Amino acid sequence: MLNFDSIIFDLDGTLWDTLQSSVDILAEFKKKHSDITKDLTPEIVRS
């Protein structure tokens, strides 16, 4: 078992930009929910 002594929360994307991953996940979510009609782009999420 791995023991961790700390966790890094990169909330502002300084270390890792998760924008495209988030857009991809939201697109998959949209496929399963027909009531969501608007496509999300990185620009929309960033705003």
pLDDT in tens, 11-29: 887 888 888 998 999 999 9
Which residues fall within 8 angstroms of residue 13, CB to CB, at 6 or more apart?
A: 19
Instruction: Say what the pLDDT of residue 43 is.
Output: 92
Handedness of CA 21, 22, 27, 28 (dihedral sign): positive
Global pTM exceeds 0.85: no
Report the percent of the chain where pLDDT is more than 90: 43
CA–CA gap between residue 29 and residue 47 (Å, rounded)? 20
Q: Helices marked H in the chain — which ranges?
A: 19-31, 42-46
